[in-house]
Amino acid sequence: FYNPTAGSILLGNEPIDTYSLESWREHIGYVSQESPLMSGTIRDNICYGLKREVTDEELRQAADMAYALQFIEDLPKKFETEVGERGIMLSGGQRQRIAIARALLRNPSILMLDEATSSLDSQSEKWVQQALEVLMEGRTTIVIAHRLSTVVDADQLLFVEQGEITGRGTHHELMASHSLYRDFAEQQLKLNADLENKAV
């Protein structure tokens, strides 16, 4: 959305401004916190933005991999069900899984997940997290998150403070070298343990 004010963004060794904006964006799949849908059918929303015809089999496969096929099949009109303005007829977890099915259909080489599970209840988060694991397989994934459980297994974590990257490494490396990250992680782990104890 913005050009860098300093430095450059590289894809491999190539600066991204050597690509046309359209071809660069074709490489990216994006799932956001809200993932609002447009008015139309579930089919329209999953196929949105694609320039090619999508077969019924492809559509079903993407929905299945996104853990969305079962709830879609339970709807009276299945893929032809109208979702309403901004997807109002579906739950938050269902909207997220539609957005994931859309990203799967695009088959992007780069995936961006922007707080993709933060607004969901625990049951929906479980389904969406499973769908995201399928989606992340075999591609570069950039995850923006406040919840440590979402990113703890990442190959590389970047810890950002007031717009500056102050830590870079795996969870274990940052636990050993970055005091603020360690405080943050211990706080989150304690919170998770407290919630689990309450649930029991």
Catalytic residue annotation: 115
Residues 69, 97 contacting (CB under 8 angstroms): no
Residue 181 to residues 49, 114, 116, 154, 166: CA-CA distances in angstroms? 38, 20, 21, 15, 9
Residue 128: partners with Cβ closer than 8 Å, 6 or more residues away: 67, 93, 96, 97, 100, 116, 117, 120
Residue 54: partners with Cβ closer than 8 Å, 6 or more residues away: 46, 47, 105
